[in-house]
Structures are given as C-alpha cells and as structure tokens.
Chain A
Amino acid sequence: MQLTDLYQEIILDHYKHPHGRGLRDPYEAEAHHVNPTCGDEITLRVHLEGDKVADVSYDGVGCSISQASASVLFDLLNGKALSEAMTTIEAFTELMTGKGEVEPDEDVLEDAVAFAGVAKYPARVKCALLSWMAFKDAAARAASESGDKS
C-alpha cells in the first residue's frame, strides 16, 4: 500500500487549512463524539433553517484524517437540504466501510473522494467517520427540535 493513498494532498490541505472550523451560534443541536482508541474528539453543531442545513460548525482535536474529514464535511453539507446531506453521508459511509473496493462518485462526494484510500486502512476508518457520525447525531436532534417548535 502506498502512503500517498492515505495522505492525499487534498487531505493534508484540509488538515492544515480547515474550512468552517470554530463553534458558532445559532444552533439547534450539538454532538460531541470521541474515538476512544485514539482520543480524537469532535464537537459539532447543526443549525437548520426549515429543511436547509444553514450552518455546520465544529471544533476538535485529533489526527489529520479526522480533522480534514470535518473540514470536507463542512464544504459538502453546509447549505444543502437535509435530505441531500443525508444522501451524501450515506455515500461517504459506504465509501469508508467498503474496504477500498467501492468506486466513489465524484459528483456526490467531491473532495471527499480523497478519503477513498483511507478505507484500505481499517484502523483509520473511524477517524474519517468521526465528524460524519457526529453530524448525523446532531442533525437528527436538530430536526426533531425544529419539528417540535413548528
């Protein structure tokens, strides 16, 4: 296996220059997820306006894969319709759990296709999925929260 499969330039770039990082108001739900094996942590907030993901904000500590993945998540999910965001998450999860045998759809996953190589490193899949699981968790609660209000 080539190390460059794992540490694609896109990943290193997102790691060194993260997009949308920092916790912001307003938000309806916040999720804090940790990877107990390595101590990676992410805190992620979701703000919905109707069915639209109006803001995803996050902060965390961890390896390049987990932190770059959060930055890519911001690019991909922020501003999308919630249902569309969930489709993207499904595609990303499928890619990451596909043991390197899933061909990623660049139209759906954009920069996230760079994580295709991570799927070949079982120990790192959890790192890549950390923020995505936190988003799923926070978005579900944010949706029921705004559902309660309407």
Chain B
Amino acid sequence: MTDPGTVLKDELYGDMPKLDVGAIRADFPILGREVNGRPLVYLDSAATSQKPVQVVEAMREFALAHNANVSRSVHTLGTEATEGYEGARVKVAAFIGAARPEEVVFTKNSTESINLVAYSMLAASLDPKADPRLRLGPGDEVAITEMEHHSNIVPWQLLCERTGATLRWLGIADTGRLDLSNLGEIVNERTKIVSFVHQSNLLGTINQVSPIAQRAREVGALVMIDASQSVPHMGVDLADYDVDFMVFTGHKMLGPTGIGVLYGRTELLEAMPPFLGGGSMIETVSMTGSTFAAPPAKFEAGTPPIVEAYGLGVAVDYLNRVGMDAIRWHEKELTAYALAALGTVDGLRVVGPGAAVGRGGCVSFHLDGIHPHDVGQILDSEGVEVRVGHHCAKPTCVRFGVPATTRASFYLYNTTAEVDALIAGLEKVRKVFG
C-alpha cells in the first residue's frame, strides 16, 4: 500500500544502526494482549510508553528486598535504597550528558519540573536580594511558542499574571515548523526566560535549539527546553545544546509514572530559591528560619518517589542497551512509512511536517468531516490505540484550524504491520462515516 520510493531503502541506509523489533516486543508482555478481540496495536507512546518486563521486575525486586527511606538512615536498607535512588540520578545524568549528577533534580513529571522553575522565579521576584536573572516585574517578558503543551504555557501565564510581566509567543509556519522570522523581536532585552518544546507532542516537529538559544544568550535570557518527547526517542546530549534547563518525564521513556526530571545548570540551581519546603531540602531549621541544602536536595522536599526513580534508572539502562541511535532510526523508518501510507487515505490531512525529516515519530492528522473522537473509537474497536483530542496543545490546534486531531505515535516496539493496521482501521472509519 506504500509507494516503495518513499520509504527509506536499506541499500541506501544500510549503515544505520538497527534494532531487533521482535526481540524488543518480547520484553513488553502487554503487546501480546488483545483489545476488543483484536491484537493490540499500541500507537500512543507519546502519551505514555509501555514498560518492559525488566523495568517492572526491577522495581518489584527493589520494593520487596531493599525498601527503606533514603538519605537519612544509617541502617543497611537505608543505604541500599539511597544507593538505588542516587544511582538512578547518576544514570540519568550520564544519559543526557549533564556535567554532574547534582544537575539532575527528580520531580513528579515534566509539568512539575517546569512549575518548579516558574515558582522559583516567582519567589525570586518577591525577594529584592534574589539573583536578578530570576526576577520578573512589569516590563519584563517571558517567551514561549504556539507549539507548547499546556504544561509549558500555564505556569508562565501564572508567573506573568502574578509579576506583571508579559508573555510573548513565537508563531508556527504553515509547514508545522516554528516561525523564527520575528525571533529578534519576541526574544529581546526585556526577556528573562525563553521556554520552548524540543519536539512537539502534536505536530511531531523537532525544533532547532541553537537559533533560539543563541538569541537568548545575546539578550541575557535564560533558556529552558521541554524535552518530554525527545529524550525518550533520540540521543539528547546537553553538550550539543546551550540550555539552562531541560525537563522530561519517566513514563514516556519506558519508566514508571510519578518520576520526572529537571536538569538545571549547577550555578543556577544554587541561585534559585526553593520551590517546596519540608524535610530533606534543608541544611538547618530553627524557629527563626531555615537554611537550605545544596541542589538537588534543595528541590526535593519530602520523601521522593524512590522506587520510581530506581525504575527510571533501569529504563535508561534498557534504552542504552538498545541504543538511542537505533531507536531514532527505527522510528524514522516507521514515520516515513506511515506518512506515505497516510497519504493514500482519502480526505486525510497530516497536521505537522509532511516528510520524515526534522520530526519525530508522532503523527497527527485530520480526516475530513469526521471528528477525531469518532476516529479513535472505531480504531479502538479494531484494537488500534491512538490518542484523539487537542493533546493539551489547544493553541496549536487553533493555529491549524482544527478542534482536535487524531495522533499516532511510535516507539521502539512498533512495526510497519501496525501502521498497516492503522491504515486499515481508517478505511473502516471512512466506511462507517462515509
């Protein structure tokens, strides 16, 4: 069903790293189940990935054999739990090329990571002695883009409302890529922070970091990237990106829910006021005031998600074993195949870049005259699980004039046969609503 000219040919790309998708699928028992009497076709990894048995079993073993609270016990179990938790931090730091493990702050998810920075900047704005880079007031600006997930919009709207600062937006071109023609105007001398998505969760677009980061440096603004959709799918090495903060979440990269990451440059984490107050984040507490621990502990108040952090470390091991380059290439092949196949469906419009270049394996589309909810429901009856709705990116939907989209997203365990099942499902959708 696909024009062979549009798929990536082996003879041209034979040197690209390959993965054994059959062997990988065997590690994910859920992929063997049925949904509505059909084999499960899981095309919703951009929402949450499935977990390999290695991660689930390691977490189980950790909880059953090494459970204790971290950082405060002299006993053996406490030491083991702390080693597990801090070991995960070391793995995550190495995975993203952070200079030091202490630059990795564990949070609940990407949303909390972004809020941590925004709330810390709010606290700084209330303190005249705080680092001026973190302080906002009337006349100052925050820059984001129209391509953001709501989690990278709402915290900044709140920060701007509360400080009197102004929120500025970079737009999106018709091609589904950021429109940087007015970058110089949107990111200017008044900008305190620029926060933007590395890979769009709706369009699939992978944004180039350097032009924006470079402009931010010119004007002295901080830079944050939301890498929730990129870190799980491609090798992200911080050495390649001049950013101050990066956020991502465990459950989209084969790890559990409840564990996320804020990467921050040490010098900034040290300058930032704390976010949540409580146990573990202090140096000393007296009735007249408290002093705070060094980062990352400063930002990890209360008992953290210990088993979840450990599980994320095991997920990182799994990804490293398969190889991020092989994963990236596998998804690129799937995306090229899917884009070509989707092009054969009547009345279907891809929302986002139409070629498998500068984009990830997350493809949104609109079927003429059929609401995505109905598309998703019929696909589900065929065992094909896709995401429908606005994908927590309403401004992006508005930009492309659609109330919602259907989104298929791929990961290391997906196959071209599953893309075929999607296309067959879409034909059924057309039949029911045609």
A interface vs B, CB < 8 Å?
Answer: 1, 3, 6-7, 12, 37-41, 61-67, 121, 124, 127
Contact = CB atoms under 8 A, between A and B. Distances in A.
Interface stretch (B23-31, B259-267, B374-382): B374-382
B389 A63 contact: no
Given A7-B374, A62-B371, 14 more contacts: A3-B378, A6-B377, A7-B378, A12-B432, A12-B433, A37-B389, A38-B372, A38-B373, A38-B389, A38-B404, A40-B373, A64-B433, A65-B374, A67-B371
Given A38-B388, A38-B390, A64-B433, A121 B404 contact: no
A39 B394 contact: yes
Contacts of B433: 12, 64
* Residue with the highest number of chain A CB atoms closer than 10 Å, among B373, B378, B381, B389: B373
B36 A39 contact: no
A61 B117 CA distance: 37
A63 B432 contact: no
B277 interface: no
Nearest to B389: A38
Interface string B216-248: 000000000000000000000000000000000
Nearest to B375: A63
Interface string B360-380: 000000000001111001100
A6 B378 CA distance: 10
B239 to A, nearest CB: 40
Interface of B: 36, 371-374, 377-378, 381, 388-390, 394, 397, 403-404, 432-433
A121 B377 contact: yes
A138 B371 CA distance: 26
B377 A39 contact: no
A39 B397 contact: yes
* Residue with the highest number of chain A CB atoms closer than 10 Å, among B374, B390, B403: B374
* Residue with the highest number of chain B CB atoms closer than 10 Å, among A38, A40, A41: A38
Nearest to B381: A3
Contacts of B372: 38, 63
Given A12-B433, A39-B390, A39-B403, A62 B373 contact: yes
B373 A61 contact: no
B378 A63 contact: no
Given A64-B371, A64-B433, A124 B377 contact: yes
Nearest to B397: A39
Contact of B373 (A3, A41, A63): A63
A40 to B, nearest CB: 7
B403 A65 contact: no
4 nearest interchain CB pairs? A63-B373, A63-B371, A3-B381, A39-B403
A39 B404 contact: yes
A84 B372 CA distance: 35
A71 to B, nearest CB: 14
